[in-house]
Structure 1
């Protein structure tokens, strides 16, 4: 998150949550932290809130009744009755402990935090944060010893790397609140317990979600599917990636048919893209509308991973930004090697 200077950390409590299948304990705190040092409060606020992208929004769900979502229930109690903060944080820790049975779930500290004056659009509202630190780093501590200095190693938390987090804004309660989620460990297929088992949240269907998902789908289609089904070289793929990004950067609204005609051109490629979209939505469990407003923050995020680099062995990297007609690929029978011709007016 940005613009967090206004945020006030009202109270925080820490519980130790282990993995019950390894015999690790659940150690509960009886009282919130004593945070009299303003520097520590500021460091904790940045540690907790810094990793979140407020545009990537989720909401709590439940298969039968939203009120039966445990985290939703405990957070609601905190908003309604701040005096029960410690009790509800214990309930959260106990519930997380019951969900921490996967072999790769690590023991760690669970922080439950109440914030006020958190920026949300044009407002400043309350929020409850739930964070877990699992990864320990080794730090060197230098201290005076008589007339000399000594160095020791200590294990601690890197305040620049939040492992897991959830920030619940006091907004849209009936729809499951507005929730932001961070999960920077276990990103593969091993322990998605934080999002699916513990929080039970799903992405909110908004313009940011649609834009982000559509660009991700386009990148995978062009990088993988297109090369498998059609006779295209790497420079053709890069050119199509560039045209895709240019479409999203210059249009206010995405229209599937318009995108297909302006970027994909060929009917057989368009048909393949349409089929791929259906497969992608099922595999990723997302829905991408045929028309939606384009969100520029999602475009900027995806632009960082849209690579326009043509790598030729280990000798050359060619950055292609446009004008596919100025690139020509060929094969030299004398050397038995492929080549590219690049046409330009001047070098700089």
Structure 2
């Protein structure tokens, strides 16, 4: 779990990255700086670090089986080995980002390189290198006093609550490509540009990865197979999703055989689930383990995508969080309408 309470900014450099496709320019700062105003320091720290909340980690991928052929890894590694290389490394990274900014959808913006001290992970405190790109400018109103009267002026600047693209490289597991956390709030084209083309990252297949992808597998199975097209009532679909997420919330260790026995249960559905799992792994080019420690943060992150709402025409939305045995579907021939019967003990 990441903790930035005692973290401090040790060095910053900013470069301007134009869009190479549109004949934009690369403008490089001549030096680094460090804010001496504590309020500015804290604002920058919040701007850079507050968005990092997920424990989904990546690592630098080797190129031609050699990590040092990965330019960003090589640059960051030189900083961790010798902090005097910080500015020189930032120039190499800025040039590399500019070279990758060769698509009409890529926006120009400022590149921030930041050296952080005392970031805390499970292993303890460590340094981190932050690589950030700010692309979105907002308009702000500034109140000024002129001849004893208040007036307004507009200014363009950066909204410190909106970080477009970000990467934090923690100084742990260097031999495996470091532990890296990323943020990208843009579309898939730009995500490939930032994560793959520029940073050269691959996701770590850790407990977070396994938990997150198994829950995505369950959700996709319900949407694509265990659905109304195959005569599965909507309430049964929601029940399957509820039982899936409940299993992961209660289990410390995931066991696939127990999961299929407790959640899927029906032999025919188990066969369909196993076939869909093979399809899911092939489609996403990954291999899911049949046993792993459950990541609670991954369960929390994926839970928001599990829908529990049963929509009935435009009259009712029924939120189903409990067991299927307390909801019963029927048909009223006199009204020529379907109905649901709900069983409960107390009304709140």
Unmatched segments (≥5 aa) in structure 1:
none
Q: 1:54 Cα shift? A: 5.3
Partner of 2:94: 93
Matches within 5 A, 1:91-240: 91-186=92-187, 188-189=188-189, 192-227=192-227, 230-240=230-240
Q: 1:120 Cα shift? A: 1.2
TM-score calculated relative to the size of structure 1: 0.95
TM-score calculated relative to the size of structure 2: 0.95
Provide Cα deviations, 1:68-117, integer angstroms capped at 9, x if missing partner: 00000000111122122111101100001111112211001100000111
Runs of 4+ with >6 A deviation = none
Partner of 2:306: 306
SS class of match (1:179) = strand
Provide Cα deviations, 1:164-208, integer angstroms capped at 9, x if missing partner: 11111111111101111111112x345511101011111111111
Q: 1:331 Cα shift? A: 2.9
Shift of the 104–182 alpha-carbon distance from structure 1 to 2, 3 Å rule, reads: same
Shift of the 53–282 alpha-carbon distance from structure 1 to 2, 3 Å rule, reads: farther
Structure 1 CA distance for aligned equivalents of residues 280 and 36 of structure 2 = 51
Structure 2 CA distance for aligned equivalents of residues 190 and 134 of structure 1 = 12
Structure 1 CA distance for aligned equivalents of residues 298 and 36 of structure 2 = 39
Structure 2 CA distance for aligned equivalents of residues 338 and 296 of structure 1 = 39
- Whether the 8 Å contact between 2:19 and 2:108 is mirrored in structure 1 is yes
SS class of match (1:329) = strand
Aligned residues: 347
Shift of the 285–143 alpha-carbon distance from structure 1 to 2, 3 Å rule, reads: farther
- Whether the 8 Å contact between 1:112 and 1:128 is mirrored in structure 2 is yes
Q: 1:46 Cα shift? A: 1.3
Q: 1:229 Cα shift? A: 5.9
Q: 1:228 Cα shift? A: 5.8
Shift of the 276–63 alpha-carbon distance from structure 1 to 2, 3 Å rule, reads: farther
SS class of match (2:225) = helix
Provide Cα deviations, 1:32-88, integer angstroms capped at 9, x if missing partner: 134111111111111111112352111101231111000000001111221221111
Q: 1:283 Cα shift? A: 2.2
Matches within 5 A, 1:1-348: 3-53=3-53, 55-64=55-64, 65-186=66-187, 188-189=188-189, 192-227=192-227, 230-348=230-348
- Whether the 8 Å contact between 2:184 and 2:191 is mirrored in structure 1 is no
- Whether the 8 Å contact between 2:47 and 2:160 is mirrored in structure 1 is yes
CA RMSD of aligned residues (A): 1.6
Structure 1 CA distance for aligned equivalents of residues 99 and 228 of structure 2 = 45
Shift of the 34–145 alpha-carbon distance from structure 1 to 2, 3 Å rule, reads: farther
Structure 1 CA distance for aligned equivalents of residues 252 and 2 of structure 2 = 25
- Whether the 8 Å contact between 2:3 and 2:121 is mirrored in structure 1 is no
- Whether the 8 Å contact between 2:2 and 2:55 is mirrored in structure 1 is no
Shift of the 3–144 alpha-carbon distance from structure 1 to 2, 3 Å rule, reads: farther
Provide Cα deviations, 1:262-305, integer angstroms capped at 9, x if missing partner: 11112221112112112222222332111111111111222222
Structure 2 CA distance for aligned equivalents of residues 184 and 317 of structure 1 = 31
